């Protein structure tokens, strides 16, 4: 059997049995109407009971929060109101059972959303129960990440960031997807969790292997003997003395990219000098309603707490494209990556941004972290000025923006006149420079941030920062690559922010190189060498 190649996105090797992520069946059809409505309606309660029994069994085998969630979901599946309404739709309106369950759940979801608060947060659970009962009625596997009873290699066509964020590294040995790009948020989350991952593996879903050997460094996947013992081998940590400087003493802050309490702790224990990117939207990928200021304050404070006394750049919500937040959903758009995402969401709804800024300011005061804020998806200096003014009005002294749209790189000088710092998001900057969707495996090569065209844009940012005497960092995935990190420093970047696992290798690479060598590497890379 053959070895398949994809794009390596999270290092480490693992071998183990395959667990497939089943795909959602979609909206069940309304037709044909059942010939025997009573018999069709009678299928619903047993399907709901079977789902509840399976969830109860999984809860019994699970622990802690996972067990609680499973028990809550099982209780929802047992709720006679959902089955009762679905049965009514079958008998009164002749709707097929799977569609009746789908429609009944939609009614419940609407009522919960309207009730707001805690109840609105249960909408996702209702949808989960709905999908499980529909799958049971259709005789197919329930969609989503399966509950794993043994450590397994997770295989999927693609995985949403919300699903990836919930993966447990104790049971997910590795993650392999047929689609997906190297800088997609699924890849970023896999790296943060330390789960070896390979994406864009063509032919993966047709492989049919019971077990796989996954190499997250080489980007390969090969069938393995299902009887062989499970193995995991992570990359050995590089030796780094913790200094954020080149060999000749040129200072470069080595920072962590974080999105959760676990990330924050991992970054601090890896020796990060602070955090250069706190992706606040990662706290709310599943939230159906806008969290209150108090809820946000508590969530941010928990993440900031390990950074007391050190700098943290908190990015305001970057909703949209592959990170949709239900409570900030725009009107349907033909090209979401080019639509109302990031800071653009705030132009229509500035009160959401203001509430978040208030919560960030309060969390900073609670924890003693030295907090700055930064806006995503800024295209012009006017947008940057608008954001900085609101941040200062909320009492946050330092405000910057991300440079992740080519126009912003070209306007870096003007942007730095109205902000305190900038941070280059190479993931989006590459996507928009090369017109190549970062989520699409087929164009993964175009998203390589080492290409001269992208580096020339970063060089403009470096020159503008030097001229303004203000810091410019990189918080895209390029900063996590030790070879590129040198080039970025040579282009004038003053900080590099990355996932915890990359901190020691990047820090060590810099301490082994002089600034002159970094500049020479940058000149070579700009010329395509
Ligand atoms: C980026 O675009 O490089 C970035 C850091 O932001 P995100 O990956 O969250 O879009
Ligand atoms: Mg981005």
CATH number at residue 154: 3.50.30.10
**Which residue from 279, 283, 320, 423 has its CB within 8 A of the most atoms of ligand 1, so it is best to mutate?**
279
> Per this entry, what is the length of the chain?
529
Distance CA 59, CA 68 (A): 7
Same domain, 148 and 121: no
Same structural domain for residues 289 and 379? Answer: yes
Do 99 and 127 reside in the same domain of the chain? yes
User: According to the model, what pLDDT value does residue 235 have?
Assistant: 58
pLDDT computed for residue 296 by the predictor: 97
Amino acid 65: pLDDT: 62
In a domain, 229, yes or no: no
Whole-angstrom Cα distance, residue 510 to residue 493? 13
Q: Tally the domains of the chain.
A: 3
pLDDT for residue 455 is more than 70: yes
∠ at Cα 428 (425, 434), nearest 5°?
125
What's the pLDDT band for 117 if we cut at 50, 70, 90? low
* Per-residue model confidence as pLDDT tens digits over 49-104: 999 998 888 778 766 666 777 788 889 899 999 999 999 999 999 999 999 999 99
Predicted local distance difference test score (pLDDT) of residue 487: 97
What number of CA atoms fall less than 13 Å from residue 489's CA on the CB side? Answer: 33
- Give tens-digit pLDDT for 26-53: 789 998 999 999 999 999 999 999 999 9
Range of the domain at 369: 253-526
Nearest CA to ligand 1 atom 4: 425
Examine the domain organization and report whether 345 and 369 are in the same domain: yes
β-bridge pairing 275-279 and 311-315: parallel
- pLDDT, residue 278, reads 98
Q: What pLDDT, on the 0 to 100 scale, is given for residue 502? A: 94
Model pLDDT, residue 329: 84
Distance between CA atoms of residues 134 and 391, nearest Å: 47
Tell me whether the omega of the peptide bond preceding residue 32 falls within 30 degrees of 0, making it cis. yes
288 pLDDT tier (thresholds 50, 70, 90): confident
Is the pLDDT score of 305 beyond 70? yes
pLDDT score, position 287: 83
274 with 407, same domain: the answer is: yes
Last residue of one domain, picked from the residues 104, 138, 172: 138
**Residue 125 maps to which CATH number?**
1.10.274.10
Q: How far is the CA of 376 from the centre of ligand 1 (A)?
A: 8
- Alpha helices of 394-470 — where are they, by DSSP H? 406-410, 412-418, 426-433, 452-468
DSSP lists the bridge partners of residue 255 as 497
Domain-located, residue 513: yes
Quick check: is 237 in a domain? no
Beta bridge partners of 231: 15
| SS3 state at 72 | helix
3-state secondary structure of 360: helix
| Residue at which a domain ends, from 90, 118, 138 | 138
Residue 28 lies in a domain: no
Residue among 500, 502, 469, 506 at smallest CA distance from 488? 506
Whether residue 348 is found in the same domain as residue 415? yes
Structure tokens at 512: 């082994």
Q: In 3-state terms, what secondary structure has residue 153?
A: strand
CATH number at residue 338: 3.20.20.60
Phi and psi, residue 292, nearest 5°:
-70, 165
Distance 98 CA to ligand 1 centre (A): 39
Average pLDDT over residues 227-252: 85
Residues 204 and 272 in one domain: no
Same-domain pairing of 162 and 272? no
**Gap between the Cα atoms of 319 and 327, Å rounded:** 9
Q: Which of 118, 138, 158 is the last residue of a domain?
A: 138
Please determine, for residue 138, whether its predicted confidence score (pLDDT) is greater than 80.
yes
Task: Answer yes or no: do 17 and 44 share one domain.
Answer: no
342 pocket-lining for ligand 1 (C-beta < 6 Å): no
| Summary mean pLDDT of the chain | 92
pLDDT at 486: 97
User: pTM score > 0.75 for this model?
Assistant: yes
Residue 519 lies in a domain: yes
Please tell me the least confidently modeled range out of 282-291, 417-426, 461-470.
282-291
pLDDT beyond 60 at 236: no
Q: Is 424 part of a structural domain of the chain? A: yes
Is 253 within 8 Å of 498 (Cβ atoms)?
no
d(CA 288, CA 237): 39
Task: Mark whether 427 and 492 lie in a shared domain.
Answer: yes
Q: Which ligand is nearest to the CA of 317?
A: 1
**Residue scoring higher pLDDT (161 or 478):** 478
Q: What angle do CA 455, 459, 462 make, to 5 degrees?
A: 135
Domain match, 294 and 334 both: yes
The Å distance, Cα 426 to ligand 1 centre, comes to 7
Angle between helices 482-490 and 515-526 (to 10 degrees): 90
Residue nearest atom 1 of ligand 1, based on CA coordinates: 425
Active-site residue set: 185, 475
φ, ψ (nearest 5 deg) of residue 21: -85, 110
- Residue 492 CA to residue 481 CA, distance in Å, equals 16
Residues 386 and 294 in one domain: yes
The answer as to whether 243 is a domain residue is: no
* Nearest one of 519, 528, 520 to 451, comparing CA atoms: 528
> Residue 510: is its pLDDT beyond 60?
yes
Assigned domain for 248 exists: no
Residues around ligand 2, an ion, CB closer than 5 A = 404, 425, 428
């Amino acid at each position: 059997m053959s070895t398949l190649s994809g794009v390596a996105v999270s290092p480490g090797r693992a071998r183990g049995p395959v667990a497939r992520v089943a795909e959602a069946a979609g909206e069940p059809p309304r037709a044909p109407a059942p010939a025997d409505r009573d018999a069709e309606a009678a299928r619903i309660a047993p399907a709901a009971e079977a789902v509840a029994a399976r969830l109860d069994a999984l809860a019994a085998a699970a622990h802690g929060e996972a067990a609680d969630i499973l028990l809550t979901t099982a209780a929802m599946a047992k709720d006679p109101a959902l089955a009762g309404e679905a049965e009514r739709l079958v008998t009164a309106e002749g709707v097929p059972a799977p569609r009746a369950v789908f429609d009944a759940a939609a009614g419940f979801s609407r009522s919960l959303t309207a009730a707001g608060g805690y109840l609105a947060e249960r909408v996702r659970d209702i949808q989960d129960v709905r999908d499980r009962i529909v799958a049971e009625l259709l005789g197919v596997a329930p969609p989503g990440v399966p509950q794993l009873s043994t450590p397994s290699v997770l295989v999927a066509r693609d995985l949403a960031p919300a699903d990836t964020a919930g993966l447990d590294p104790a049971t997910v040995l590795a993650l392999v997807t047929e689609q997906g790009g190297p800088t997609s948020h699924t890849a970023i989350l896999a790296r943060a969790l330390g789960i070896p991952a390979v994406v864009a593996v063509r032919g993966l879903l047709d492989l049919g292997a019971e077990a796989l050997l996954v190499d997250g460094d080489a980007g390969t996947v090969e069938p393995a003997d299902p009887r062989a013992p499970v193995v995991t081998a992570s990359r050995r940590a590089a030796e780094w003395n913790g200094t954020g400087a080149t060999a000749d003493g040129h200072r470069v802050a080595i920072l962590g990219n974080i999105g959760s309490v676990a990330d924050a702790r991992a970054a601090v224990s890896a020796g990060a000098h602070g955090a250069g990117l706190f992706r606040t939207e990662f706290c709310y990928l599943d939230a159906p309603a806008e969290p209150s200021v108090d809820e946000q304050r508590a969530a941010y404070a928990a993440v900031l707490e390990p950074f007391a006394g050190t700098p943290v750049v908190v990015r305001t919500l970057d909703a949209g494209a592959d990170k949709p937040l239900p409570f900030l959903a725009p009107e349907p758009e033909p090209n979401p990556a080019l639509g109302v995402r990031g800071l653009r969401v705030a132009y229509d709804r500035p009160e959401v941004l203001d509430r978040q800024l208030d919560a960030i300011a309060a969390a900073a005061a609670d924890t003693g972290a030295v907090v700055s804020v930064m806006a995503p998806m800024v295209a012009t200096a006017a947008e940057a000025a608008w954001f900085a003014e609101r941040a200062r009005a909320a009492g946050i002294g330092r405000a910057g923006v991300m440079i992740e749209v080519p126009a912003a790189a070209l306007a870096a000088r003007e942007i730095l006149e109205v902000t305190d710092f900038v941070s280059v998001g190479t993931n989006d900057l590459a996507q928009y420079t090369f017109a190549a969707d970062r989520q699409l495996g087929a164009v993964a090569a175009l998203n390589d941030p080492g290409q001269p065209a992208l580096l020339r844009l970063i060089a403009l940012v470096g020159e503008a920062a030097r001229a303004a005497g203000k810091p410019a960092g990189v918080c895209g995935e390029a900063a996590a690559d030790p070879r590129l990190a040198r080039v970025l420093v040579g282009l004038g970047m003053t900080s590099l922010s990355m996932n915890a696992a990359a901190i020691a290798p990047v820090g060590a690479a810099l301490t082994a190189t002089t600034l002159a060598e970094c500049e020479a590497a940058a000149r070579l890379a700009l010329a395509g060498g």
